[in-house]
Amino acid sequence: MNLSYYHVAGDVPANVKHDSAVVIDVLRATTTIACALNNGAESVETFADIDLLKKKSASWPSSKRLLLGERGGKKLEGFDLGNSPIDVSNDFVKDKRIFMSTTNGTRSFARVRDFNTLYAMSLVNRQAVGEKILIDNPGEVLILGSGWEGSYSLEDSLAAGALASFLLESRLDLVQVINDELNAAIALWTFWKRDLIGCLRKSTHGQRLQRLGNHDEDFLCCSELDTIGTVPIQREKGILFSL
């Protein structure tokens, strides 16, 4: 199993087509997706384009849908939710489809939506996704971060390194790292793994969130490791369900 990592969607070469892709956006899209599905959401449909989201969601029963939108770390006007894993509680999201568009994460989903298998991962469900990958044993796995508006993000590389380290520790005979971006992410994980919340707060996006207001609960949630057994997987193009 060959593992590679790309920092943002724009870094992925046009001709790359792997068996499986794992999208990461620790702060906060993939953490929110994992928590929403873990709390009973029917599915999460991701959109890079807000107008397309509004058009598609209008065809869904109003009692069974929620609009989740964020730009620049702030909730979009007229949407039910911003991009916070704290807000997707069971009593709010159960049995509902979440129509989601965020600054960064949903761009990454759009880039790899045509892969054979697509997972959403954050720190909270790292082990669950890793175990599923080991069971499936695809030949090639592309791990894709989301960054910030096309630029590198510390926290996504941290999670990529966490996943790769788990896979290597579980099956060193099976797993091979094939690019330096992932080697660097593993080194980052080794450095920060005992202070995950410190890494998230140190990151430029973490500092951005802190400037926007009190996001202590988000930081606590997003920095938890292996606390959720939910594996979000794409079963229809652009739509993630709990495995």
User: Over the stretch 105-140, which tens digit does the pLDDT of each residue have?
Assistant: 999 999 999 999 999 999 999 999 999 999 999 999
Percent of the chain with pLDDT over 90: 97
pLDDT of residue 172: 95
- The pLDDT mean for the chain works out to 97
* Closest C-alpha among 180, 190, 130, 132 to residue 158: 190
CATH 3.90.1560.10 given to domain 2-242: yes
> How confident is the model over 73-87, as a mean pLDDT?
96
pLDDT of residue 16: 86
> How confident is the model over 216-235, as a mean pLDDT?
98
Angle at CA of residue 21, ends 105 and 166, nearest 5°: 100
pLDDT of residue 31: 98
Which residues, 6+ apart, have CB-to-CB distance to 53 below 8 Å? Answer: 45, 47, 67, 69, 99, 100, 101
> How confident is the model over 205-219, as a mean pLDDT?
95
Q: Is the pLDDT of residue 209 over 80?
A: yes
Q: Is the pLDDT of residue 81 over 90?
A: yes
Give the Cα separation of 87 and 205 in Å (integer): 19
Cβ(12)–Cβ(142) under 8 Å? yes
State the pLDDT confidence band at 15, using cuts at 50, 70 and 90: confident
Give the Cα separation of 231 and 196 in Å (integer): 21
pLDDT of residue 19: 86
| pTM of this structure | 0.97
pLDDT of residue 42: 98
pLDDT of residue 160: 98
Give the Cα separation of 35 and 104 in Å (integer): 18
Amino acid identity at 209: L
pLDDT of residue 135: 97
Which residues, 6+ apart, have CB-to-CB distance to 62 below 8 Å? Answer: none
Q: pLDDT tens across 170-184, in order? A: 999 999 999 999 999
pLDDT of residue 18: 78
